């Protein structure tokens, strides 16, 4: 698949997650068949993430509220050149997922990514698992004015191909409005159609299984939702914008289903968080 002027082949990527942060993670993915390695999501400040337990595996699904643990912008300014070199030596591209708490933070992260020359920048607009002073951070995917502001500001500081990662939309009219924003920006090369489904919860023995109580819903049970997101976005976006499916991918058959509904490529996350980096080999 093409993301701007960048070819990703095979058209399989890992999704940004808690085992996509370090040089060791890049080395592990470099030994797999994926076409591009995603690092992040990263933030300006170093983050330890949310309190434990923040990960739960149920029957056919998982809940996560990791809270984007990562080393912060200075850690990645120092270490991304080596990560890029490892990826390129393995004939893979290196994509960086960025997540700011303001437009200015997105810009600073994108400028750093531009300086170290990553291949692709993913603007994560869909993380549901961040709280500030005890209040859940609004999800940018549901605020089209903020999306326009961030996309415009980021595109002003880099010519690196940009893609956006979005929340799943249950309202088809809202999805079409978001697709229109993306198409009209003329700056976005690709869309990753589904972050986790926000504000899910599960209880065991009278207590929430995730200490933050609310978490993102992922896993194989999400597959029909993910396929529906791809089919709608493919219909709503021009062919010049690449559509990357995400959600519920466990097998090569799942990848094939995404291609059947119009995906140009896929990202897989839950299976590697649950089973390790090499689990992505099941998709080939």
CATH number at 184 reads: 3.20.20.70
CB 222 within 8 A of CB 194: yes
pLDDT, residue 255, reads 98
CB 202 within 8 A of CB 56: yes
pLDDT, residue 9, reads 98
Position of tokens 């591209």?
A: 93
User: Is 59 among the domain residues?
Assistant: no
Does the predicted model carry a pTM greater than 0.85?
A: yes
pLDDT, residue 216, reads 95
User: Is 274 among the domain residues?
Assistant: yes
User: Is 98 among the domain residues?
Assistant: yes
- Per residue of the chain (284 residues), give pLDDT as tens: 999 999 999 999 999 999 999 999 999 999 999 999 999 999 999 999 999 999 999 999 999 999 999 999 999 999 999 999 999 999 999 999 999 999 999 999 999 999 999 999 999 999 887 766 667 778 999 999 999 999 999 999 999 999 999 999 999 999 999 999 999 999 999 999 999 999 999 999 999 999 999 999 999 999 999 999 999 999 999 999 999 999 999 999 999 999 999 999 999 999 999 999 999 999 99
User: Is 99 among the domain residues?
Assistant: yes
**Residue-number span of the structural domain to which 249 is assigned:** 2-48+68-199+219-283
Total structural domains within the chain: 1
User: Is 56 among the domain residues?
Assistant: no
176 vs 213: CA distance, rounded Å: 31
């Amino acid at each position: 698949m093409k993301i701007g002027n960048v070819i990703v082949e095979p058209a399989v990527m890992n999704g940004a997650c808690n085992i996509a942060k370090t040089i060791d993670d890049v080395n592990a993915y470099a030994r797999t068949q994926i076409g591009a390695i995603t690092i992040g999501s990263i933030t300006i400040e170093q983050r330890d993430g949310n309190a434990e337990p923040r990960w739960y595996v149920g029957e056919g699904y998982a809940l996560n509220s990791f809270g984007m643990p990562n080393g912060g912008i200075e850690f990645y300014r120092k270490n991304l050149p080596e990560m890029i070199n490892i990826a390129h030596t393995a004939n893979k591209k290196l994509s960086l997922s960025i997540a700011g708490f303001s437009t200015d933070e997105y810009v600073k992260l994108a400028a750093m990514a531009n300086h170290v020359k990553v291949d692709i920048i993913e603007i994560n607009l869909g993380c549901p698992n961040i709280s500030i002073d005890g209040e859940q951070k609004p999800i940018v995917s549901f605020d089209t004015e903020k999306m326009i502001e961030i996309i415009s500001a980021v595109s002003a500081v880099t010519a690196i191909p940009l893609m956006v990662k979005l929340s799943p939309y249950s309202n088809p009219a809202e999805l079409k409005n978001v697709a229109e924003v993306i198409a009209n920006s003329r700056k976005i090369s690709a869309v990753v159609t589904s972050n986790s489904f926000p504000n899910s919860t599960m209880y065991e023995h009278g207590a929430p299984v995730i200490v933050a109580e609310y978490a993102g819903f992922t896993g194989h049970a999400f597959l029909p939702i993910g396929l529906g997101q791809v089919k709608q976005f493919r219909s709503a976006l021009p062919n010049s914008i690449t559509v990357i499916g995400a959600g519920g991918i466990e097998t090569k058959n799942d990848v094939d289903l995404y291609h059947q509904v119009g995906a140009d490529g896929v990202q897989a996350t839950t299976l590697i968080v649950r089973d390790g980096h090499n689990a992505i080999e099941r998709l080939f």
